Amino acid sequence: MKSLRKKQQGSTADHAADMPLRAVNYILIALGVLVIGGSYGIMFLEKDVDGFFALFVSPISLVAAYGWIIFAVLYRPSRKEKS
């Protein structure tokens, strides 16, 4: 019984030390940040409050990019268990 408990405790400690975000998460976050920067950049270059990009394209892309970043933070890739 003692060896079983030690084995279970060791696997729990190893699992707790894992990083919460993986490389995939950081790539997805970076993609969202690039879209946000591009959207604000397009609005800056247009320099018109009533322009097409400022009223239609940028708000949609900004909401989508912020949603994408939330998804990227919450995304958990599936682990394949080793036999």
In a domain, 6, yes or no: no
In a domain, 60, yes or no: yes
Q: Which residue has the higher pLDDT, 20 or 70?
A: 70
Structure tokens belonging to residue 40: 């604000």
Which amino acid, residue 41? G
Q: What is the SS3 assignment for 25-81?
A: HHHHHHHHHHHHHHHHHHHHHHCCCCCHHHHHHHHHHHHHHHHHHHHHHHCCCCCCC
The average pLDDT across 58-65 equals: 96
In a domain, 14, yes or no: no
In a domain, 11, yes or no: no
In a domain, 73, yes or no: yes
Q: Which domain holds residue 25?
A: 20-83
- The contacts of residue 75 (CB under 8 Å, 6+ apart) are 24, 25, 28
Asked if residue 40 has pLDDT above 60, the reply is yes
Asked if residue 62 has pLDDT above 80, the reply is yes
- pLDDT for residue 80: 74
Q: Which residue has the higher pLDDT, 32 or 82?
A: 32
Domain count, the chain: 1
- pLDDT for residue 12: 55
